[in-house]
Amino acid sequence: MQLISRITHHLKSPLFVGLMAAGAIISAQASDLAPRFTDADGDMVADAPTDSSEWVDPATLVFAYTPVEDPSVYAKVWDDFIKHMEGVTGKKVQFFPVQSNAAQLEAMRAGRLHVAGFNTGSNPLAVNCAGFVPFTIMAREDDSFGYEMEIITRPDSGINEIADIKGRSLAFTSPTSNSGFKAPSALLDAEFGMVAEQDFTPSFSGGHDNSILGVINNDYDAAAIANSVLKRMISRDVVKPDSYKTIYTSETFPTTGYGYVYNLKPELAEKVEEAFFTYDWEGSALLEEFKNSGEAKFIPITYKEHWSVVRTIDQAMDVTYSCS
């Protein structure tokens, strides 16, 4: 069995232009959940099984953070949080260094991943095909949250505006990424009439860090990236602020969604939520890593409300999901 995301490019430009211009949030209310899931309460995520024999109660909880950068960077960053989760849940927790969005999605669908942070664009696929139940995101002290998609280039590239990308190369990250593919593809077509292969040469780098470094090292003329990743790379001195320039900044999108697999034993799922909401960020490696993009705590969210803008982008791009 394979998890397949079929993404097409027949854009409904008026819908997307209206969305971005007005800053409106247009929610798709129809459920796209795979047939094996139920949604009796209408919250657009899979319900826990009513039969307790179908609940998962593993001796070791497996946790994975979205592979926006090299997973080895984040193993130590999440170490203290993992110890906290172990204390709250009473379970051993193992960090799973996934190498791709597809691997992370397949791991949860196959029952090998119990708790995860999925990137913005992967949340709809994880919810509908893997039974992911997101309940929190990182936020700033004032409860604000989110990041922007930026299109960056080198200062000496000769690219000063979006139109200059015509005939050049543009890097995306992966087909399931919101800021790394879906949002920029929709924006380029709807706002600038530019389509991949026709107006520029697209590439998939595999990650935001790869795209950023690829631009700086002259592998790509430009790239669509999440500025939260860029800020963290600057803070670690991996990227110099004068080594790139931004030619486009989008509206704000929700950031990584954290949650658990739908069939986790309900009492254990509650403990997982407790672990996130009781974690003390003060002096932690998590705060040190994410402070440059503003995050300082976890706040409650719902997929139905907070991912409506992402679902609208998917609708604008005629994105469909086939789960088999």
The secondary structure of 116-166 as a DSSP string is EEE-GGGHHHHHHHH-EEEEEEEE-TTS---EEEEEEE-TTSS--SGGGGT
Q: Which domain holds residue 296?
A: 3-141+254-323
pLDDT of residue 1: 32
d(CA 249, CA 174): 19
- Residue 245 β-bridge partners: 153
Within this chain, do residues 56 and 122 fall inside the same structural domain, yes or no?
Answer: yes
| pTM of this structure | 0.77
Q: Report which secondary-structure segment, H or E, holds 268.
A: helix 266-277
Residues 6+ apart with CB under 8 A from 197: none
Residue 207 token pair: 């990650």
The two beta strands, 222-226 and 147-153, are antiparallel
Residues 6+ apart with CB under 8 A from 30: none
d(CA 319, CA 1): 21
d(CA 173, CA 252): 18
From the number of C-beta atoms within 10 Å of its C-beta (0-12, 13-18, 19+), residue 192 rates as middle
pLDDT of residue 115: 98
DSSP state of 236: T
d(CA 120, CA 269): 21
Within this chain, do residues 296 and 310 fall inside the same structural domain, yes or no?
Answer: yes
Within this chain, do residues 206 and 172 fall inside the same structural domain, yes or no?
Answer: yes
Among the three residues 235, 253, 271, which one is the final residue of a domain in this structure? 253
Within this chain, do residues 222 and 84 fall inside the same structural domain, yes or no?
Answer: no
pLDDT of residue 316: 77
Nearest of 105, 153, 158 to residue 128 by alpha carbon: 105
φ/ψ of residue 192, rounded to 5: -125, 0
Among the three residues 229, 253, 277, which one is the final residue of a domain in this structure? 253
d(CA 135, CA 254): 13
d(CA 85, CA 67): 20
User: What's the structural domain count of the chain?
Assistant: 2
The answer to whether residues 187 and 251 touch, using CB atoms and an 8 Å cutoff, is no
Count of other CB atoms within 10 angstroms of residue 172: 23
Among the three residues 253, 286, 312, which one is the final residue of a domain in this structure? 253
The answer to whether residues 319 and 10 touch, using CB atoms and an 8 Å cutoff, is no
- Residue 98 β-bridge partners: none
Within this chain, do residues 249 and 262 fall inside the same structural domain, yes or no?
Answer: no
Within this chain, do residues 136 and 270 fall inside the same structural domain, yes or no?
Answer: yes
Output the domain CATH number for residue 240.
3.40.190.10
Within this chain, do residues 241 and 271 fall inside the same structural domain, yes or no?
Answer: no
Within this chain, do residues 220 and 174 fall inside the same structural domain, yes or no?
Answer: yes
Within this chain, do residues 264 and 205 fall inside the same structural domain, yes or no?
Answer: no
Give the pLDDT of the chain (324 residues) as one tens digit per residue: 333 333 333 333 333 333 333 333 333 345 689 999 999 999 999 999 999 999 999 999 999 998 866 667 788 899 999 999 999 999 999 999 988 888 999 999 999 999 999 999 899 999 999 999 999 999 999 999 988 999 999 999 999 999 999 999 999 999 888 899 989 998 899 889 999 999 999 999 999 999 999 999 999 999 999 998 999 899 889 999 999 999 999 888 889 999 999 999 999 999 999 999 999 999 999 999 888 778 999 999 999 999 988 888 888 777 776 676
Within this chain, do residues 26 and 53 fall inside the same structural domain, yes or no?
Answer: yes
Residue that is written with structure tokens 């007005």 in the block: 22
Within this chain, do residues 118 and 76 fall inside the same structural domain, yes or no?
Answer: yes
Within this chain, do residues 37 and 88 fall inside the same structural domain, yes or no?
Answer: yes
CA atoms within 13 A on the CB side of 127: 24
